[in-house]
Structure 1
Amino acid sequence: MAFDLLDTLKNLFNQEFSQKAATQLGESESSVQKALGGIIPAILTGLLHKAGTTTDAGGLADMVKEISLAGNLPGKGADILRSLFGNRAGQVTGTIARYAGIKESSADTLLQTAAPATVGVVGQQAGGEDLNATSLLSFLNNQKEAILHAVPAGLGLKDVLGIGNLGDISRKLTGPGDVTGVAESRVRTRWIWMLIFLVAVLLLLWYWLRGCNTGGNTNTMDSVTTGQMEDSAIDAVMEESPARESIKVTLPDGKVLEAYKGGIEDQLVTFLKDPDTKGGKDQWFDFDNLNFRTGSAELTEESQLQVQNLVAILHAFPKTKVKIGGYTDRVGDSVANMRLSQERADAVLRSLQAGNVRPVQLMGAEGYGSMFAKAAADAPNEERKLDRRISVGVREK
């Protein structure tokens, strides 16, 4: 039976994926599904177009091979889109957003999530470890008609690519050999790799989409960039802001906390006292007065007050179970941002443990880096600062 590339990708980005993505992005599930229906053939068409116009088929094959064998996919989505669409990558994002009726930031997140997985599946099926220009072009030739037929009529992809019609891509794409013979000679090896790859991708997508915070308050984290590693300096996150109203938050055990109106203590206690609310993976609250020394996971002294307030809240609500999440914006190296966000989330968790919070109430800490950042790397700081935060996820109450 011939391999069905589109069907495989549809199974990968299935209804469960759409449900999780819709929740985390604040979009409707139907809109996310529509977006994915355009994104998958758009990425594949971009690959076809690249293969038909490049003079370096070997370089393209190397890129696809690298993605297909990569053990660490986060952060590669933007690079893949730039490689396939060049300076038109932003236009692709806008086209998907308009087609599906979603925010451009949501379209960008979905594109960057889908690109590594889509190109990776192509690479595995086109040869895996043995992939070269010949096997890639043969595979694409075998799949091109199905891919181009799957492009939604209303997407307007030909305009983005600057071509007369999608049929031009089919005519330009040529390559030696017959993909059927190539596939049959390596089918067992490829399917072993394919299964491993799909499991890895599914785990990765779950990792990306779980625990995403849908809110945003005062920023608490910086991204790692050149010049931010001075341990004596303090993160530039306490920018001048309008005066905040101080309030007293009373806990069920009688303890009174000094806090800000609308701050994490106010929001969290109101949520925990409300009998109609439930915990879950989507219930997150942002620290609004938590800062670290630049480039480190060392909490500043003034930050300890809010951490101790959280300790008091967990003591007063002993059934509550929480998880700590760390996030950065898109500026800087994504791997370094991921590492720093994990270290900072761990630091907050250790502070809670030091406050004698019962171990059963603490469900761990996870750093998500810039994976859920909504603002572009070149966006104004006022937009990016909402992506820099430490959050508390209420899993049970």
Structure 2
Amino acid sequence: MVSLQKVPDEITNFVSRHNLVRADILATEQPAPLQQAITQVAALAMRGFAELAGQPSSREQLWNATREAAAAGPGATTTATVGGDLLRKVLDDRYHGTVSTTAAAAGVSAATISHLLELVPATALAVIGDAVAEQHWTAKQLADWLRPRQHVPVVPTPVPAPTPRPVSGVVPSPSSWFAKPANALLVVVSIVAVAEFGYILNTRSGDVVATAPVTTTSTPAATPVDGPAAPEGQYLAIPAVSRSAARPKAAVPVVLKLKNGVRQVIGANSTESKLYQFLIDPSKEVDPNDPTKDWIGFDRIYFDTNKATLTNESLWQLSNVASILKRFPDAKIKIGGYTDNSGKPLVNLLLSKHRAEAAKEALVSLGVAADRLTAAGYGTIDNIAPNDTEEGRALNRRVSLQVTQK
């Protein structure tokens, strides 16, 4: 029987042996990044299944799924659906963020990761199912076997760089201090420690600090480390990295951190940051008499050309927005769609409406109650840039949100 530590490798090999990756993915992705992506998703699937096995309510479900997968064989459609659904259940509102971050880490597209998040968990079920059948494990024994995987981090598999060929007569220079694994690890740990220390120093308690706007022209003051903790369920908006006064133009990312462990790292001027600041700041009030006031543009959601179909990468920001709205359960928002002036006005109006509705439906699918959301299309009304350049037209094709209740 394959050991638990070797299961991710066995999953990766299983996928290759049975040619389970779709042909269009194989044609568009480079072999090394694709292999790295499969390995990362395999480790993610194992950790996710270990989490499920640790929950008594899900233990039997996982055990039955592994046995069925082993019996069905590789590539079974039912197994693929079950495997993807199980992992999605574990990830919950982390799912879309996982797609984006894993794609970036592996150097592949979000569509490829979405495919692998269906394929690889199914393969994992089959591999685990073989072990269950061979060892005649009960659901409890399977859970015990998987337990060590619960806290194993998913780290990118390094792609080895080609070794440079020495030039005749030239003595190679000593390797860089940073090239040594132990020293490189020390640097990484030091950076993380500095970032965490800066995080502690900049943390504030209560709404007053959280509502202070984060700018790129001032350095936040430090607070005592032993100060009061933020109340449960409260986000803290803080700079992720402290800046030197000698670099005033450096961008400042913001961490929206929840005490139960949920956190977002986003840009200070991003949609998420602006929405959060508006909701948390008691001085910012909804103006029911001015429908044009306080609109916040989505800055990272996109649609297929001339369609209301959201691209995969758009779901990351929508997932972030859904997470913020869940932390402010009384808040309601309106979503507005806009187009440039190309084409027929009526077609543009309908397209803008359908795009706003698509964003709304995505938020609903991410757990935001439908009665907290409204959607409307405005077509070419309120263009924010000239339509005589491609850049201007691109800016005008947008979706925005407005808080209608806090």
TM-score tier after normalising by the smaller chain length:
0.3 to 0.5
TM-score (norm 2): 0.36
Structure with the largest fraction of helix: 1
- Does 1 or 2 have the higher relative contact order (CA < 8 Å, sep 6+)? 1
